[in-house]
Amino acid sequence: MGTLSSPASKLGWDWERVPGLPRTHYLDNRMYTDEALFNDEKEKIFKAQWKFACHESEVPEPGGYRVINVADTAVAIIRGADNILRAFLNICPHRGAKLLRDVQGTIKGDRTTCFYHHWTFTTAGQCTTIPLPQGYSNEEINADNVHLKAVNLESLHGLVFVNLSSSPSQTLKDFLGSAMEQIEAPLSDLEVFHYHRVVVKANWKLFVETNCEGYHELLHLLNRTTALSQPSYLQRKWLLHPNGHHTFQPANIAYNKLKLGDRGTDTLNGMTPNMHVVTDLFPDVMINVRSTVVRIDSLIPVEPGLTILECRGLGPKSDTETQRRARVKQHNQVWGPMGRNLPEDIWAIETQWANMTAHEYPYSLVAREDNDQATDDSPVRSFYAKWQELTGVSSFDIHAPFKNGVAHEQ
């Protein structure tokens, strides 16, 4: 007997296009693997928009600094002797050497010295010493007119953002708009108590997608048991804000269903027992508040298929030792390196990436329409509307013309 087979064309799925589907409801998977597009994203999104850098508590004292990476550019966040936070390229203006060589630390005596030729700068970025200055006697180079290159920095509710553009098109407040309203209260008077980084073998946008759609919560035992099992949870709505930001409205989580205990004491400002709210900030930040603790995820795109995920856990500065221990435990139940959800998210998107690199799977669907409720894909479509605006590339076909802010069919 011969082998029975069915042609791909008879399987009920057109891999080239889903008939009748609006172009906003599918994604061209080449956007994840195309290197030229990845480089454009770094220039037009990560260097040109406000990018989350760190939390103010990571540089609490004058002289404190934190070095971050923005689109391959090292930026130093420094708290000056005057207690003002400033940002500079972490580059000595003399010959381009790295000025601050640790990720985090303290500058003593308001002076930092480049290891290469010993030029010295204040925490406000001004040069104070050029060794053997007589060598520049015939040139207009002296300590009074040389300084570190400043980077735009603004902060809101303890969150520090930078913008590498020479003239940002919006202030940070205007860029964020109404997106922070639901989480202003719980973000007050916090400090970072946990930080770790994860190397993710996938494109950065895949991680963003998993954080701005509730349908993927089916992936997680914790979410299936403590959240989706409650009928009211599915009516929870996404609020779409300008500039590609989103808020997942508050809901209560049934932690007891997994014997994780109630989160009914020491709740953050503005939060009630077992309350949960999420805000996603374009392009790459998720702020996830679970009643007693805050998680902030942000990304460093390295290559089209390589991303560094930065994870922060935050709690009130006023915590007693007992309160902090409880908060750390509740944080790690879900989000820590050995927590329940994070490894599952990474596993899922790495399998997506592995299939997309084969270029046999041309489109992804973002077609769920559920009145902006929990499992709607509207936040993903909103993200890509902003992404299209900035990159000038069509999300449904990266080679289709994109004119006057509108993507067109080929």
* Domain edges within the chain: 51-169, 178-391
Is the predicted pLDDT of residue 79 greater than 90, yes or no? Answer: yes
Q: State the pLDDT confidence band at 402, using cuts at 50, 70 and 90.
A: low
In this model, does residue 116 exceed pLDDT 90? yes
Mean pLDDT of 339-356: 91
| 3-state class (DSSP) for residue 344 | helix
Question: pLDDT band for position 338 (50/70/90)?
Answer: confident
Say if strands 120-122 and 246-252 run parallel, antiparallel, or are unpaired. Answer: unpaired
- Predicted pLDDT of residue 310: 97
Between the alpha carbon of residue 160 and those of residues 44, 66, 81, 97, 178, the distances in Å are: 20, 11, 18, 25, 17
Asked if residue 8 has pLDDT above 80, the reply is no
pLDDT digits (tens, 9 = 90+) for 282-327: 999 999 999 999 999 999 999 999 999 999 999 999 999 999 999 9
Average pLDDT score over residue span 216-242: 84
Q: Residue 358 contacts by C-beta under 8 Å, 6 or more apart in sequence?
A: none
What is the structure's pLDDT at 199?
A: 97
Return the CATH superfamily for domain 178-391. Answer: Naphthalene 1,2-dioxygenase Alpha Subunit; Chain A, domain 1 (3.90.380.10)
Q: How far is CA 131 from each of CA 93, 119, 245, 385, rounded to the nearest angstrom?
A: 14, 7, 49, 52
- The residue ranking higher by pLDDT, 381 or 18, is 381
pLDDT reading at 160 higher than 80: yes
| Mean pLDDT in residue range 206-226 | 87
**Adjacent-strand bridge partners of 70:** 73
Q: Mind listing the pLDDT tens digit for each residue in 10-48?
A: 444 455 666 788 989 999 999 999 999 999 999 999 999
User: For the whole model, what pTM was predicted?
Assistant: 0.92
pLDDT of residue 262: 84
Of the pLDDT bands very low, low, confident and very high (cuts 50, 70, 90), residue 408 is low
Kindly report the average pLDDT of the chain as a whole number: 91
Q: Cα separation of 60 and 74, whole Å?
A: 20
Query: Is the pLDDT at 5 greater than 70, yes or no?
Result: no
DSSP state letters, 239-308: EE-GGG-EEEEEEE--GGGGT-----SSPPTT--TTEEEEEEETTTEEEEEESS-EEEEEEEEEETTEEE
**pLDDT bracket for residue 407 (50, 70, 90):** low
CATH superfamily of 51-169: Rieske [2Fe-2S] iron-sulphur domain (2.102.10.10)
DSSP code for 236: -
pLDDT band of 140, cuts 50, 70, 90: confident
The b-or-e profile of 11-36 (16+ CB within 10 A means b, else e) is: eeeeeeeeeeeebbbbbbbebbbbee
Q: Give the single-character DSSP code of 3.
A: P
- pLDDT score of 67: 98
What HEC string does 357-390 produce? CCCCCCEEECCCCCCCECCCCHHHHHHHHHHHHH
Predicted pLDDT of residue 345: 92
Tell me which residue has tokens 């936040």. Answer: 379
Strand partners, 41: none
From CA 217, how far away is CA 332, in angstroms rounded?
18
Sign, CA dihedral 385-386-392-397, equals negative
**CA 297 to centroid of chain Cα atoms:** 6
Position 111 scores a pLDDT of 95
